[in-house]
A and B are shown apart, each in its own frame.
Chain A
Amino acid sequence: AQSVTQPDIHITVSEGASLELRCNYSYGATPYLFWYVQSPGQGLQLLLKYFSGDTLVQGIKGFEAEFKRSQSSFNLRKPSVHWSDAAEYFCAVGAGGFKTIFGAGTRLFVKA
């Protein structure tokens, strides 16, 4: 069955430090992978997506993610975190035809 696992429920980083959010997926075919961000009281905003090609994907707000098929991972990274990045981050997989499966999310806290 398709699934997405985000092992870290919450992460705290200092402003200016680097960030990596982990995502592992289980999917039988070639996955379509997404990272979304959700700020309090807001809907989800797409940060980046991977369909095929270059395994390092650039997104908005300085985020990038790397698809590693051998590890079934799609980790999100940012070299320098800003206080405005504090939010909840969701990894998701396109599960065929119409369905998107989301992970449980990782809440990011940013220390001043």
Chain B
Amino acid sequence: ETGVTQSPTHLIKTRGQQVTLRCSSQSGHNTVSWYQQALGQGPQFIFQYYREEENGRGNFPPRFSGLQFPNYSSELNVNALELDDSALYLCASSPDTGGVPLDQETQYFGPGTRLLVL
């Protein structure tokens, strides 16, 4: 297994800009979730994709959007960046385990992308 990778590792943007963060899941993992982890906080669920469709969403505005591709890669896009968007963004992939509820599946996390909005 190659693990979950994310790019870039660090990014600096200015308020109002748009950003795209990328994640490469483990082969065979059809579920990917994105989390925002502000400094000193636990990860907050943004949304989840399963087989290229959004499968659920947390309390984040529509300017947070995502895409999942057939090659196990995915993107998190954030428009109109705000200062409070500064955080570590984590993606996590999960395997298909056939009939197991998604909240039981083990998630494999990438190292994250640290975004700073000035």
Residues of A in contact with B (beta carbons under 8 Å apart): 4, 32, 36, 41-46, 49, 51, 90, 92, 94-105
Q: Pick from A41, A46, A90, A100: contact of B111, CB below 8 A.
A: A41
Interface contact A97-B41, CB-CB below 8 Å:
no
Residues on B with beta carbons closer than 8 Å to the beta carbon of A95: 103
Residues on A with beta carbons closer than 8 Å to the beta carbon of B56: 97-99
Known contacts A32-B103, A51-B104; A99/B42 CB under 8 A: no
State the Cβ distance, B85 to closest chain A Cβ, in Å. 18
Residues on B with beta carbons closer than 8 Å to the beta carbon of A99: 45, 48, 56, 58, 103
Known contacts A43-B90, A51-B104, A96-B103; A103/B42 CB under 8 A: yes
Interface contact B111-A42, CB-CB below 8 Å:
yes
The main secondary structure of chain B at its interface with chain A is mixed
CA distance A49 to B58 in the complex (A): 22
Q: Answer whether residue B40 sits at the interface, using C-beta atoms and an 8 A cutoff.
A: yes
Interface contact A105-B42, CB-CB below 8 Å:
yes
Q: Whose C-beta in chain A lies nearest to the C-beta of B6?
A: A43
CA distance A76 to B111 in the complex (A): 23
Residues of B89-118 whose CB lies within 8 A of A: 90, 92, 101-104, 106-112
Interface contact B48-A104, CB-CB below 8 Å:
no
State the Cβ distance, B109 to closest chain A Cβ, in Å. 3
Residues on B with beta carbons closer than 8 Å to the beta carbon of A51: 104
Name 13 A/B residue pairs within 8 A (Cβ), A-sorted.
A32-B104, A51-B104, A98-B56, A98-B103, A99-B45, A99-B48, A99-B103, A100-B33, A100-B103, A102-B42, A102-B44, A105-B40, A105-B42
